[in-house]
Structure 1
Amino acid sequence: MAAADLRALFSSNDPSFDANEAFTNREHQWALVAGALEQHLRRTGEPGFDVEDLETPRTNVIVFHGVGGVGKSTLLRKIEAALTAADQRPAQWGAPSWTERLLPVRIDLARSAAAGSDFERVILTIRLALAGTPGRPLPSFDVALRQYWEHTHPGEPLDEYMRRTGLMGRFATALPHQLQTAVSEAAALLQLPGGATAGQVTGALAQGLRERRERARALAGCSHAAALLEATPDLEALSYYPHLLAWELGQLPAKHKVTPVVLLDTFEETADRHRDLERLLQRLVYLMPNVLFVISGRSRLAWADPALHGQLDWTGPTVWPGLAPGAGAGAGGRQRLVGDLSPEDCNDHLARRLVQDGRPLIEPGVRAAITARSHGLPLHLDLAAARFLEIRRTGRTPEPADFDCTFPALLARILSDLTPEERHVLRSVTLLDAFDLDLATRAAGLDRQAPARRLAERPLVSENPYALWPYHLHGAIRSAVHADQSEDRWTAADWHQAAGRALTALGEQWTTSSATATGRMLLVACLRQGLRLARDHRLTDLGWLTDAAHAYTDDSVWEPLAPPAGGPGAGGGTRDATAGGAGGDGTGPETAADALAELLTAIARRQHEHRARTAERLTAVLDTGLLNRELTALALYYRAKAHKDLGHTQESRTGMQRVADAGGRLAPKARRGLANLARIAGDFPAALAAVPTLGWKGRHHRVAGDIHWPHGNIDQAVAAFGAARAEAEQHDAPGERAIAQVRLALALAFADPVRAGDELDLAHQLLAPLDQRATTLLAHIAALVKDAGDTGADVPGRAHGLRREITDAGLPWLSRFLEIALAFHHAVRDEHQDLADLIDRLHTLTAGGDFAYFTDIAAAMGDLPRPPRPTVRWLDGHDPVRERWHALVTDRRDRLNASF
């Protein structure tokens, strides 16, 4: 019995208790993997092992669980490296005892959200890893997978899908060929006519298996192969195909034998109330008993819980003996905690920590309060359990409010062996979410790093060597330090001065950094911490934060920026910023830091909010009068952009003109905004005349491209957008590069759909790490233009879905682009009535004058009469524009006819 259990036992007359393992180290975690792998290889090598046995308990899974950020992903990457090459294995892990060939396959489940697409990615990744395995092919699985792909993704080549979803690797080009080869060879062996489809081959193969023909059994000897091949090739069937793959792996000759080790990272991303993706992944694990799976997630894997019966296919401790709670950490236990406890495990620990008459003594509300305050720290949980017993001894029932506290004992243990200098550094870094030695030293106001280095070596500081700032304090420890009542505790003035030092140190790190690879990352990280410090400690001098705010908005990347809602406050208090408004009490910003935080949040959140909401938030910030002159210009500029997106042209023009007239760093952008407004109004000569005055900061090449493509001058537009992209690359501006690339693809889509497809692929790659809602929607519109005239592309149906997204985003200007894409489609297909109806719709959408020239373009596409509207000021007159657009339609029609 553990010492902590004895203390609890002697604190009361009646409770009994239990406790979970709280901490392990990576050496022990590797020992678990190595031991499980040895057992797995020994079991699968036994003569009686049968992959088709569907009743034997499964022991082919290991689980590492713990709170986010404690190194689970890093651990899996190290395990993958250690299994790949001996020289990648840490020396303390020792040499393995096995000699068999292993194939580690690590899959990050956080990359997709949809269950179907995510599970497809898992299956394809595993098969892709096996594409380089020599020896006997995998015919039955490959034929089934090919049939599934043709049925579920008609018209979409597998290699294009892998490129689009990032499933590229050493054997990416081999996999589609291997699948097609399997179908072709199976067709030949079954004596089918040339050109047989995967569906025809699977049908013939299934029939041959039912009739016990030797040729069919040579291809697929698995007893369940016929049933799987006959099943409708949908996602449900795909989840059972791993049974075929497991059988195929078992048939490999001894010299080509390989044991896959599949590492599934961030398993918590599968969690939903229906467990849809988890059910598919559990089938994968269960149906491949000759594959070892290593899973990491935030909570224990609950497959051994009988309560999940019906939600998952196989549940209970009999099926998964190594996953049962009572399995422990020995040879039979296959679940290991990494670092702190997850909230679910905190609750479970507290429920089992004190028990009376077989039921948890600590009621759910109190458990929830303790869990929230503990930040997963096991010591905090134990101290809270002791406090619970102390309160009960007074005759009062403990309440959740009793645990909204820190424990002096926890802080006493922390401070007891620290030197005075280390204590000083500790208090200083509690102001920071993360830090390095230089930041800690400067925040503490010291002239040497030694105290910070010594503190970083203490177990109370966690280290992530891959992070921008490698060190961070545990959340519960930070709270305890701020509630410090020790003799050498800090006063409110001490905390305020330390916050000022920390803010200055953050600014110095950002302004002196010259590492372009981490420049953007460092900017965002400094802003997050700096905004919180200035807000929570009411620092009046924003200093470098103004420059950082402009740098943040310069490149249209829009990482989430809002600082935590309730950071530690001076003297141990916290500000509650959850009630509403940046000020935290529903009254809006109270300080300049509040106003700046709200300004940047409103600008970034416009990618996820209706533009009307953006304009409203920015107006509220401007009305506070808390922003300095430069930040006021920033708010005015982005409010003007929101008005432009909403179609409020006059309000947008007024705002842009104010910013341009004021000069300053945003003047070039404001002049660009005015040029764009002139273009939107149909005054192309005025817009073009402004281009030479804009320069890089005014995105002159992009503005020129936006002027040329409505004229049908596709070559000039593509050249301008290409120059814009190149200039963005020179300035290391990924956001602008993505915008230019999407517009290049849009212009090119009218003239060269094949090349436009390649450009769109690149556009989506550039957009993937960004948060640009309008540009992403424009890329989808460009895809419609590329597919215009293709009857199988469902252009109208896709346009209908896009129209809803555009409306929800509050981006009415994009609806004009959507209609012009549909107009191109109807014109190419000679659908005159549909085109006439669309022109009427465009006429209504452009009644205010914005984008009125789109009705001229749509009419020109179908060679229809020009609508009666105010004259557009084209660069070279209406007739040449009309001829160019009609020629583009004719050329697309000829392309489509030539393809049949």
Structure 2
Amino acid sequence: MVARDLRALFSTNDRQLDTSEAFTNRQTQWELTAAALAEHLRHITDPAFDVEDLEAPRNHVLVFHGVGGIGKTTFSRKLEAALTGSGHRPAQWGQPRWPSDQVIPVRIDLARSAGTDFEQLVLTIRLALAELGRPLPAFDIALRRYWEHNHPGDPLEEYLRRGALARFGQAGQQQMQSALADVAQALLLPGTVGSAIGQVTGSLVRALRERRQTVRALAGCTRLADLLETEPDLEALSYYPHLLAWELAQLPPEKSAIPVILLDTFEDTGDRTHRDLERLIQRVVWLMPNAFFVITGRSRLQWANDSLQGQLDFTGPAAWPGLVAHDTPPARATSHLGGGRQVLIGDFSPEDCDDYLARRISRDGQPLIGPPVREVITRRSHGLPLYLDLSVMRFLEIRRSGRTPGPDDFDQDFPALIARTLSDLTPDERHVLRSVALLDAFDVALATRAAGMTHDAPALRLIERPFVNEDPFGVWPFHLHGLIRSTIRTAQDNTDDRWSPRDWTHAAERALEALGKQWTTSPAPNRLLLIGCLRQGLRLARDFRLSLGWLADAAWAYISDSIWEPLAPPAAGHEPATTGLETAADALVETLSALSRRQHEHRERTVDRLTQVLDTGLLPTDLHEMALYYRAKAQRDLGRTDDSRHGMQQVADGGGRLAPAARRGLAHLARLAGDFPTALATARTLGWTGRHHRVEGDVWWVQGEMERAAAAYEAARREAEDHAVAGERATCQAQRAFVLAFTDPERAEDELELAHQMLSGLTLRATTLTTHTAALVRAAGAPGPVVEDGASVLRAEIHTAGVAAAQVTLELAMCFHHAVRGANDAVRTSISRLHDLTQGGDYAYYVDIAHFMADLPADHTPHTQWLDGKEPTRQRWRDLVTARRAHLHAGP
């Protein structure tokens, strides 16, 4: 029979519409089930297996858990159909590894709406086994005794005929009556069975105790007499499944079959405090080790947790080795279980979402929902089947209005998802859930503080929910399912305890304060924690217009290491995104984003972004100077010397945190202009904060003093290591490798390798370009087009970055290469390029250096002030060329 989607069918008058229920994927889950069931069948057919062994570990349970709406109930139903062997198995599922008549599927819905109580659960299992066609006297007699004691005047047969269990037919009832008749006959009891149940059980117990030959068929059940002597209450009923298991074990192989009991909606058995029904059900599972159980619910089973001892009868990893907490991830699950029997049901892939929507409603075999709409729904769904289902209903609703639904109609969330998510959470858990919806990721402490609570229990319970994903390698291990989070934050909340805008703002303030507390109280500097706190804190401050607070100090900590991880938070989630910069938080977000993105964008873009920030005047004075300083740096990279000098002077005169860096910038500008004495004198006054050794190295190498420059860069690198500034350390090492590439190619190779190691994990574009240029200098003089080709590629990269200093340094490196090879025409071409690049006056002395290397006559650049004069400098550069020629001539 083809499953019909009745909700869709009754949502339209269009009888041409095909509303078949779509079932997509879950092939991996089927393979897991098939593998586990095949393994179970092998286990119970082993001669060593003993159904009455009550101490052996149990591994006959498979749990599928996941967020509400992920498709657990649909999967449970499909499993039941697939196991019946009647041909209802989905096409993508493979053939089972056992004969179809070897298993008896029994699906029981434990949802509150289904009204299933423990009595019905036990009766359902027994009646399903009527398919075996044989009485099960040990169980049937105990059940009859229980029923007549607890339901006087309501015969069991009548109850079964009129109740929900009537679907099992008369076979089970007849088998129960037959069992009693057979036992009464064996005991030679007079009268009808129905009026003699007390007499039957009493006589049977005595016969079992006396080991009479007449009851030898039941004598092998060692605990039957004890169960028949016990008060027949609900507690006793929960032990009767042991009798079922024993009866199944007595069947001859050709008549035997294994019940596969599917317990759905297991979360409705109770909560973490009230486990009475769960305790009874767990007892059934434990006492039926030859059955196989597939449990589906929102939460993983905690039976392997020792702390539940006393609440449940059988607990701990020794009892349930397969239920120990190591989920089989949906994306990595295979048919090989490896011991793990708790499986998280994952989201649909984009392809499966599209397939689901295409097949759900159609006309004449063609999907009614077109590709553009399916694409939007798929993207918004995050792979959650419930979202797809709700979208189909929305599609039909819009269609009823006489309008053709379009993509824009589905770019929103469903409030119904909130109610489904919150339905089985306590008030405290709902409060924590809404609070952490403001966070990209969290741990228990952060969740508790963000919720404003004084105890962790609600957060500890929440992280066990299937809509909370775990990444043990993240700064914070937990994050909400993407769709659940976006829906809680953006959809209209109609629940009884919904939050007002004011509530959301208060929660954002708590979350921001909690993030700041984690960062400021960290026992040791932690860059990952800093970045995580900044990313989350900036978004909260921006979206909810909060004051900066600790974010200002965090921003300074961020720039101090010169690593430049991406920081820009995503677009506003709870509040509509604003246009332009309206608050200090907006301005700080844009500033830090511009600083990190300058490693990937043209410096012109950096200048424009920082100018926009500065023009608003929104930042406090110290952060305003931060934007001003880095705009001046970008202007220097673009060759706008006057603008850069003006900005650097403003920051230096302000005397703030970046004043030493600004004085270093002024020294760099003096070097660019060729005023080397001033640059060197200034460098010696800067100290570590002004990066004095690096500035000295920058002055020495253009004099041709490569060893002195290398020593200065090494000292700078060591200082950076002492201060744990990774970005500065990498920059100094790259400069050291660059200058040594002129004098010693073999030594430079090791230094370059070290520079690459230090750059690993950092985003320093200009420094990376330096290492590329150093590699070309190291290879200078090599035959063939290798160096020229490498220069062409690097020239394009530099143009994209917009770093003027890298451009002129590359052309100087090419002059060195051509001079070593004696290619004067190529030298003149590179010199021409240098003329074009230095027309503004900055780096004009590079033209002189190019002439020095090629031993060509040149007019002295009028503004250049060499430290010890022009001729000594010329000779040092020329000596570098002749030394390289000698090195190449000597060979390896």
| Cα distance change, pair 402–617 in 1 and its aligned pair in 2 (3 A) | closer
2:489 is aligned with 1:497: no
Would you say the 8 A contact 1:749–1:785 is kept in 2?
yes
Kindly report which structure 2 residues correspond to 1:55-94, keeping only aligned pairs within 5 A, or say none: none
| Cα distance change, pair 420–2 in 1 and its aligned pair in 2 (3 A) | farther
| Cα distance change, pair 396–849 in 1 and its aligned pair in 2 (3 A) | closer
Would you say the 8 A contact 2:834–2:846 is kept in 1?
yes
Picking from 551, 555, 564, the partner of 2:561 is 555
Kindly report which structure 2 residues correspond to 1:321-720, keeping only aligned pairs within 5 A, or say none: 339-392=346-399, 396-482=403-489, 483=491, 484-516=493-525, 519-539=526-546, 541-569=547-575, 575-576=576-577, 583=578, 585=579, 588-720=580-712
C-alpha distance after superposition, 1:474-523 (max 9, x if no partner): 1221233233121211111111111111111111111222344xx22222
How far, CA to CA, are the matches of 2:628 and 2:657 in structure 1?
Answer: 13
> How far apart are 1:645 and its partner, in Å?
0.5
2:725 is aligned with 1:733: yes
AA aligned to 1:547 is D
> How far apart are 1:450 and its partner, in Å?
1.3
Would you say the 8 A contact 1:437–1:453 is kept in 2?
yes
AA aligned to 1:830 is G
Would you say the 8 A contact 2:852–2:877 is kept in 1?
yes
How far, CA to CA, are the matches of 2:677 and 2:590 in structure 1?
Answer: 39
AA aligned to 1:557 is I
Q: Which residue of 1 aligns with 2:143?
A: none
AA aligned to 1:491 is S
Q: Aligned to 1:876, what secondary structure does the other structure show? A: coil
How far, CA to CA, are the matches of 1:429 and 1:337 in structure 2?
Answer: 21
| Cα distance change, pair 871–427 in 1 and its aligned pair in 2 (3 A) | closer
AA aligned to 1:369 is V
Structure 1, unpaired ranges of 5+: 36-65, 71-327, 570-574, 577-582
> How far apart are 1:445 and its partner, in Å?
0.9
> How far apart are 1:618 and its partner, in Å?
0.9
C-alpha distance after superposition, 1:91-131 (max 9, x if no partner): xxxxxxxxxxxxxxxxxxxxxxxxxxxxxxxxxxxxxxxxx
How far, CA to CA, are the matches of 2:750 and 2:2 in structure 1?
Answer: 63
> How far apart are 1:409 and its partner, in Å?
3.1
How far, CA to CA, are the matches of 2:11 and 2:25 in structure 1?
Answer: 22
| Cα distance change, pair 337–440 in 1 and its aligned pair in 2 (3 A) | closer
Kindly report which structure 2 residues correspond to 1:117-128, keeping only aligned pairs within 5 A, or say none: none
Q: Which residue of 2 aligns with 1:774?
A: 766
Q: Aligned to 2:784, what secondary structure does the other structure show? A: helix
How far, CA to CA, are the matches of 1:30 and 1:744 in structure 2?
Answer: 62
C-alpha distance after superposition, 1:327-382 (max 9, x if no partner): x9989xxxx99722333332222112323322112222322232232222222112
| Cα distance change, pair 654–22 in 1 and its aligned pair in 2 (3 A) | farther
Q: Which residue of 1 aligns with 2:106?
A: none
Q: Which residue of 2 aligns with 1:792?
A: 784
| Cα distance change, pair 507–4 in 1 and its aligned pair in 2 (3 A) | farther
| Cα distance change, pair 695–346 in 1 and its aligned pair in 2 (3 A) | farther
Would you say the 8 A contact 2:4–2:21 is kept in 1?
no
How far, CA to CA, are the matches of 2:500 and 2:465 in structure 1?
Answer: 25
> How far apart are 1:23 and its partner, in Å?
9.5
| Cα distance change, pair 25–15 in 1 and its aligned pair in 2 (3 A) | closer
How far, CA to CA, are the matches of 1:712 and 1:855 in structure 2?
Answer: 14
> How far apart are 1:3 and its partner, in Å?
8.5
TM-score (normalised: structure 2): 0.62
Kindly report which structure 2 residues correspond to 1:23-102, keeping only aligned pairs within 5 A, or say none: 28=32
2:22 is aligned with 1:18: yes
Percent of aligned pairs with the same residue? 61
How far, CA to CA, are the matches of 1:405 and 1:838 in structure 2?
Answer: 58
| Cα distance change, pair 31–850 in 1 and its aligned pair in 2 (3 A) | farther
> How far apart are 1:26 and its partner, in Å?
13
Q: Which residue of 2 aligns with 1:119?
A: none
| Equivalenced residues, count | 589
Would you say the 8 A contact 1:436–1:471 is kept in 2?
yes
> How far apart are 1:8 and its partner, in Å?
4.7
2:753 is aligned with 1:746: no
Structure 2, unpaired ranges of 5+: 40-65, 71-332, 337-342
CA RMSD of aligned residues (A): 2.9
Q: Which residue of 1 aligns with 2:190?
A: none
Q: Which residue of 2 aligns with 1:892?
A: 884
Q: Aligned to 1:823, what secondary structure does the other structure show? A: helix
AA aligned to 2:543 is D
Would you say the 8 A contact 1:340–1:377 is kept in 2?
yes
How far, CA to CA, are the matches of 1:708 and 1:865 in structure 2?
Answer: 23
C-alpha distance after superposition, 1:582-627 (max 9, x if no partner): x4x3xx2121111111111111111222212211111111111111
Would you say the 8 A contact 2:450–2:514 is kept in 1?
yes
How far, CA to CA, are the matches of 1:735 and 1:377 in structure 2?
Answer: 42
Kindly report which structure 2 residues correspond to 1:843-882, keeping only aligned pairs within 5 A, or say none: 843-882=835-874
> How far apart are 1:432 and its partner, in Å?
0.7
AA aligned to 1:370 is I
AA aligned to 1:603 is L
Q: Which residue of 1 aligns with 2:141?
A: none
Q: Aligned to 1:472, what secondary structure does the other structure show? A: strand
Would you say the 8 A contact 1:5–1:19 is kept in 2?
no
> How far apart are 1:385 and its partner, in Å?
2.2
Q: Aligned to 1:462, what secondary structure does the other structure show? A: strand
Kindly report which structure 2 residues correspond to 1:244-259, keeping only aligned pairs within 5 A, or say none: none
How far, CA to CA, are the matches of 1:418 and 1:821 in structure 2?
Answer: 67
> How far apart are 1:554 and its partner, in Å?
2.0
Would you say the 8 A contact 2:818–2:827 is kept in 1?
yes
2:750 is aligned with 1:758: yes
AA aligned to 2:837 is L
User: Could you tell which deviates more after superposition, 392-401 or 829-838?
Assistant: 392-401
Would you say the 8 A contact 2:2–2:20 is kept in 1?
no
Would you say the 8 A contact 2:31–2:335 is kept in 1?
no
2:834 is aligned with 1:809: no
| Cα distance change, pair 433–25 in 1 and its aligned pair in 2 (3 A) | farther
| Cα distance change, pair 871–534 in 1 and its aligned pair in 2 (3 A) | closer
> How far apart are 1:757 and its partner, in Å?
1.5
| Cα distance change, pair 833–376 in 1 and its aligned pair in 2 (3 A) | same
| Cα distance change, pair 26–894 in 1 and its aligned pair in 2 (3 A) | farther
Q: Aligned to 1:567, what secondary structure does the other structure show? A: coil
| Cα distance change, pair 829–404 in 1 and its aligned pair in 2 (3 A) | closer
How far, CA to CA, are the matches of 1:512 and 1:4 in structure 2?
Answer: 58
AA aligned to 2:670 is A
> How far apart are 1:804 and its partner, in Å?
2.5
User: Could you tell which deviates more after superposition, 773-782 or 791-800?
Assistant: 791-800
Picking from 823, 826, 829, the partner of 2:818 is 826
| Cα distance change, pair 878–330 in 1 and its aligned pair in 2 (3 A) | closer
Would you say the 8 A contact 2:19–2:360 is kept in 1?
no
> How far apart are 1:6 and its partner, in Å?
5.9
C-alpha distance after superposition, 1:63-94 (max 9, x if no partner): xxx9xxx9xxxxxxxxxxxxxxxxxxxxxxxx
